[in-house]
Structure 1
Amino acid sequence: MSDTATDTNTTATTSGLDAERADLLEALAKQRHFLRFTARDLTDEQAGQRTTASELCVGGLIKHVTNTERSWADFMVEGAANMPDFTAMTEADFAKRAESFAMQPGETLAGVLDAYAEVARRTDELIASLPDLGVTHALPKAPWFDGDARWSARRAVMHVLAETAQHAGHADIIREALDGAQSMA
């Protein structure tokens, strides 16, 4: 195994880290690579194109994963303070949130990928530097969380890992329907 847990788009290394942090960084790097690789050689128009019955597109999935990772990285440091109260969201709030799953006018794939790389760097730095991955915070209010549940920073990282892997798979299906290219075959 190499001494880096990330690909060329991130900066954290596993040198000197405990095995748990190194494993988390390596697993995240692998799933991030799959998601980014799915977007290889796409034009901005193709990155925003829907190719299945869903509303999803490759660029929108990368935007969503970026926003999700940013939110959970903030959670690791500050708890749910900057996360929405999903139980109080209106239809308009949910419609605005749905925009994060699509390429908007003026957005470019390069810009979306740059934003993702920056968020990934920050998350990697947090994983490497947080004094204790076991510190817990109360979860934001949401119908899918138990009322008084708490998650550790470790659990938040595992959630980001699962989200990234799930959406890399979605992106792979969308890309294959677009032009036959496969990322994870």
Structure 2
Amino acid sequence: MTTSERVLTGERADLLQSLGLHRGFLRHTVRGLTDAQAAARSTASELCLGGLIKHVTLVEHRWARFMAGGAEAMESEPVDWAGMFRMTADDTLTDLLARYAETAARTDELIATLDLDTVHPLPEAPWFEPGAGWSVRRTALHVIAETAQHAGHADIIRESIDGAKTMG
């Protein structure tokens, strides 16, 4: 049974509703854009809308792997940290959005089924307290925060392209 076939209530429903809302805001920022517009750097930042979609997809994918299997699973695939923020000549907005939708479905399934109290030690990194761990719940909240933050970035970038805004 997939997440879409289940009726979720309570905390799981709240987590998925919040994550879905912010994903929707992010996807809305690229509605109607060409690949060239999605790849354009329209502000002083290095960021582009397609690159943000690519980044959020990769980050969500990695945290989903963490939820399911901890830091080892999260870090088992190589990451092009600089390239994840850019659209390459091989990237299309359609493909980036499709990968994002696939990643979102996997994350939603994990949030719907995993024990939210399961804790995994965080990977070693200067921004994490040594020896700290996050529950599946805490990880889901982090993905929501990351998605919301980048949806805000995307809104500013989109507005600078053609004046369109997610809200307003």
What TM-score, normalized by structure 1, do the two folds share?
0.85
Q: d(CA) in 2 for partners of 1:121 and 1:56?
A: 25
Aligned-residue offset at 1:14:
8.4
1:155 to 113, 133, 138: 138
Q: Please say if residues 58 and 171 of structure 1, whose CA atoms lie closer than 8 Å, have aligned partners that are also in contact.
A: yes
Q: What is the SS of the residue equivalent to 2:166?
A: coil
- 1:134 aligned to 113, 117, 141, which one? 117
SS of structure 2 residue aligned to 1:97? coil
Compute the RMSD of aligned alpha carbons. 1.8
Using the aligned pairs only, state the percent identity: 58
- The reply on whether 1:106 has 2:90 as its aligned counterpart is yes
Which consecutive unaligned segments of at least 5 residues does structure 1 have? 1-10, 86-92
Q: C-alpha displacement at 1:111, in angstroms?
A: 0.2
Q: Could you tell me which of 64, 69, 81 is aligned with 1:78?
A: 69
Aligned residue for 1:151, secondary structure, equals: strand
Structure 1 counterpart of 2:18: 27
How far is the alpha carbon of 1:184 from its aligned partner? 2.4
**Structure 2: runs of 5 or more not aligned:** none
Counterpart CA distance in 2 for 1:18 and 1:40 is 30
Deviation for aligned residue 1:15: 4.9
Give the Cα–Cα distance (whole angstroms) in 2 for the partners of residues 155 and 14 of structure 1. 25
- For normalisation by structure 2, the TM-score amounts to 0.93
Say if 2:62 and 2:75, in contact at 8 Å, map to a contact too: no
Alpha-carbon distance between aligned partners in 1 of 2:74 and 2:136, rounded to the nearest angstrom: 15
